[in-house]
Structure 1
Amino acid sequence: HIATMQSAEKKLLEILPSLKILILHSKIDAKTTEDEILKFVAGGYDLLLCTSIVESGIHMPRVNTIIVENADKFGIADLHQLRGRVGRSNKQGFCYFLIEDKTALTQDALKRLVALESNSFLGSGSVLAYHDLEIRGGGNLLGEAQSGHIEAIGYSLYLKMLEEEIGKLLSRKSAAASVELKISVNAFLNSEFIREDRLRLDLYRRLSKCAEASEVLEIFGEIEDRFGHADIYTKQFIDVMMIKVLATKLGLRVISSMDENILITLASGDKVRLKAQTRDDDDVISEILIYLRRELKNANLR
């Protein structure tokens, strides 16, 4: 707060008497603010003591540390912007969110701080936006009041269900039905490989929306870039997503497997039977992918 800045400056100077401190807030005129900021960026001051006016639009590559007092009183977006003021060059950035009493934190404030602590990687803004929506609620989307809790099903699923219901009311046909997969293999995003629940759910959501094989491969490349060499279960899940994309392009109805036996139901209702070399998961998946890629290649040549 502007009213407490002088006392904060006094406390800092008691600790470090030679500290050169610049004080800025919204009541200081724009010309003075600009001149003083330029001096600070050039190294004329050691520390900037200010309100949240610096949260956006200021590029200070020399600055490597920011300390936010009473961080529990800020929103997620504010705190995410504030911590973005540091680490903007080749210097390691440090951000400290200070609170007076952890036991006095509200549930929402705790959720906000935990979300920010857990999502500090590059490009985490979209994940934080979902956290923010789930904490604050999605607002009154339809009608005079909104009942129920979005957090019970997650915001993405809520929007998907809402979109489907609106489509029904408008008598619109839903998007082309996806192929039904009944493949008996162990395929999932391994929690030991991707430990953060929120990240796994987000990857499941993104993979489920893929319509092209290139999109699946791009996400897989991102996974290995962020988390390292993928384990067998994660790789097999990516392969299953690839099967889904290719099968949908071919208009297939069902793909099922039992041991090494594979049954594919075509759009016409005809059935194709395949047999993998063994009942091992990787052989079953490989046999299906070989068939789908061959059929897709033939379809493109026609």
Structure 2
Amino acid sequence: FLASKESQQVLEGLAKGRVDIVIGTHRLLQKDVAFKDLGLVVIDEEHRFGVVHKERLKKLRATVDVISLTATPIPRTLHMSLVGIRDMSIIETPPLDRLAIHTYVTRYEEAVIRDAVLRELERGGQIFFLHNRVETIARMAQKLSDLIPEARVAVAHGQMRPRELEKVMLDFLDGRAQLLVCSAIVESGLDFPNANTIIINRADKFGLAQLYQLRGRVGRSHRRAYAYLLIPGEKIITRDAERRLKALQELDELGGGFKLALHDLEIRGAGNLLGKQQSGHIEAVGFELYTQMMERAVKELKGEALKPEVEPEIRLGIPAYFPQDYIPDTNQRLLFYKRLASLRDLEELKGLKEELQDRFGPYSSEVENLFLVMYLRRVLKDYLVQQITYHDGRLSLLFHPQSPVKVEKLLELIKGDKGRYRISPEGRLSFASQNQDWQKLIPEVVGFLQTIH
């Protein structure tokens, strides 16, 4: 807590360039703060800053470099990193001897609270009890004192006088208080190695990133820590709150913040990249299409060459599908069709084949044909082939204008066997094939494409 006179001296030093590094709160973003030559801004706990705060940071200097630090990126920041707008580095190595925090979601029951507190006291530890309503926090503290007379209880919240709050926190740090009933003021910036149990009342009212930060107040030593998330009842809380709590409970391993942020992105959406919303779902075009559009836009802005995308039309007239007797459940069949359509490389295709055999047993010729067709589709996309047809022993290929066909190799093939290869006026290439077996015909097409590219 700085006095007004000290704060003014720091501000004068910033304006005149006498201060090289300044560490501060949101106070540094107010309009009366001026920097002589600002070059780098490091934002700790980035999720605590709103869009208005970040715009103020950008206006401080047009060429300022910004590094954002957070255990749980907000949805928009994470999405901007995933699509390449912002660079991202991940620190996954935990401190030495650090253990994961065991997390429990349970209804508010006095027996659970008393048991959790006494268990921590028995091993000489301290406890945070988070009650985020200042108007009733004193009443809750008295209730806990009556419930657990063995514990020395203290209260801390943001509306206390600075000196009074400082004294309470020092008492807790020195062990004179064992159970700290507090508001979300303890969310960040505190390190109490002896506090290894946190109980969060009405956990359903907090966001996922905030819960993760609050849980991080414990487990900061070599001891096992415990977090109890108290809710009024599963039927009372919202569906999104239920998903948040479930995600936090399941992802309790070390370094789970990034995975939790991905869950948060899924639950809340990515928001508007150029607007004020830092979360929100993209309902108009769908998330996958939106991401593809953003990736293309970013590449254009970077001046990178954009490879055309084609969706090959395959007309081979072969039976290629999942028979109903092979995968009886309709939803399962649709799921595997969707996974097939979204395969990115041959390794994923191989993995899916192995999974099918493992789950449903040996597959029929129709399924084998389907895998061959999807393999062919992947190759056609790579070589920018828009359409392939098979009729009366002849294969016909229609190439995209930007397809990287080596014309000299193609002309050599045509000259070498004029009867087999033909080119139509619209640029369609066809050639005769003696193969009637689809398992040989499709590899023949792939080999031909590799020859002329």
TM-score, scaled to structure 1? 0.55
- Determine if the alignment matches structure 1 residue 140 to structure 2 residue 272: yes
Determine the structure 1 residue equivalent to 2:283.
149
Measured after TM superposition, the shift of residue 29 of structure 1 is: 2.3
Higher relative contact order at CA 8 Å, sep ≥6: structure 1 or structure 2? 2
Measured after TM superposition, the shift of residue 90 of structure 1 is: 1.2
Letter of the structure 2 residue corresponding to residue 48 of structure 1: L
Q: 1:41 aligns with which of 170, 173, 178?
A: 173
Determine the structure 2 residue equivalent to 1:239.
none
Letter of the structure 2 residue corresponding to residue 149 of structure 1: E
Determine the structure 2 residue equivalent to 1:195.
none
More helix by share: 1
Measured after TM superposition, the shift of residue 65 of structure 1 is: 0.3
- Determine if the alignment matches structure 1 residue 92 to structure 2 residue 235: no
In 1: Cα distance, 2:256 partner to 2:346 partner: 34
In 2: Cα distance, 1:169 partner to 1:12 partner: 58
Would the aligned equivalents of 2:196 and 2:223 in 1 still touch at CA under 8 Å?
yes
Would the aligned equivalents of 2:282 and 2:290 in 1 still touch at CA under 8 Å?
no
Cα deviation digits, residues 266-288 of structure 1 (max 9, x gap): 9x9559xxxxxxxxxxxxxxxxx
Measured after TM superposition, the shift of residue 50 of structure 1 is: 0.4
Cα deviation digits, residues 219-246 of structure 1 (max 9, x gap): xxxxxxxxxxxxxxxxxxxxxxxxxxxx
Larger radius of gyration: 2
- Determine if the alignment matches structure 1 residue 65 to structure 2 residue 197: yes
DSSP-derived class of the 1:49 partner? strand
In 1: Cα distance, 2:237 partner to 2:141 partner: 26
Would the aligned equivalents of 1:167 and 1:174 in 2 still touch at CA under 8 Å?
yes
Cα deviation digits, residues 161-184 of structure 1 (max 9, x gap): 42214545887413799xx85469
What percent of counterpart residues are identical?
Answer: 36
Measured after TM superposition, the shift of residue 120 of structure 1 is: 1.7
DSSP-derived class of the 1:187 partner? helix
Letter of the structure 1 residue corresponding to residue 283 of structure 2: H
DSSP-derived class of the 1:56 partner? coil
In 1: Cα distance, 2:276 partner to 2:197 partner: 46
Would the aligned equivalents of 2:141 and 2:154 in 1 still touch at CA under 8 Å?
no
Measured after TM superposition, the shift of residue 73 of structure 1 is: 0.6
- Determine if the alignment matches structure 1 residue 127 to structure 2 residue 259: yes
Measured after TM superposition, the shift of residue 14 of structure 1 is: 1.8
Would the aligned equivalents of 1:116 and 1:128 in 2 still touch at CA under 8 Å?
yes
Cα deviation digits, residues 39-61 of structure 1 (max 9, x gap): 21221111000000001000000
Cα deviation digits, residues 15-42 of structure 1 (max 9, x gap): 2224211100011122332232122122
- Determine if the alignment matches structure 1 residue 19 to structure 2 residue 151: yes
| Residue 72 to residue 167, structure 1, CA distance change in 2 (3 Å) | same
Would the aligned equivalents of 1:58 and 1:85 in 2 still touch at CA under 8 Å?
yes
Would the aligned equivalents of 1:138 and 1:150 in 2 still touch at CA under 8 Å?
no
Measured after TM superposition, the shift of residue 87 of structure 1 is: 0.7
TM-score, scaled to structure 2? 0.38
Q: 1:74 aligns with which of 206, 231, 245?
A: 206
Measured after TM superposition, the shift of residue 147 of structure 1 is: 7.8
- Write out aligned runs for 1:274-285 (5 A): none
In 1: Cα distance, 2:214 partner to 2:347 partner: 48
Would the aligned equivalents of 1:76 and 1:112 in 2 still touch at CA under 8 Å?
yes
| Residue 86 to residue 182, structure 1, CA distance change in 2 (3 Å) | closer
In 1: Cα distance, 2:168 partner to 2:348 partner: 66
Measured after TM superposition, the shift of residue 159 of structure 1 is: 3.1
| Residue 185 to residue 110, structure 1, CA distance change in 2 (3 Å) | closer
DSSP-derived class of the 2:273 partner? coil
Cα deviation digits, residues 68-121 of structure 1 (max 9, x gap): 000111111110000001111011100011011210111111121112112222
Cα deviation digits, residues 167-202 of structure 1 (max 9, x gap): 45887413799xx854697336x99xxxxxxxxxxx
- Determine if the alignment matches structure 1 residue 32 to structure 2 residue 196: no
In 1: Cα distance, 2:351 partner to 2:187 partner: 43
In 1: Cα distance, 2:305 partner to 2:160 partner: 58
Q: Which runs of 5+ in 2 are unaligned?
A: 1-132, 310-343, 356-404, 406-438
- Determine if the alignment matches structure 1 residue 186 to structure 2 residue 186: no
| Residue 150 to residue 122, structure 1, CA distance change in 2 (3 Å) | farther
DSSP-derived class of the 1:38 partner? helix
In 2: Cα distance, 1:144 partner to 1:89 partner: 39
- Write out aligned runs for 1:1-302 (5 A): 1-141=133-273, 148-149=282-283, 153=287, 158-165=290-297, 167=299, 172-174=304-306, 181-182=345-346, 186-187=350-351, 269-270=450-451
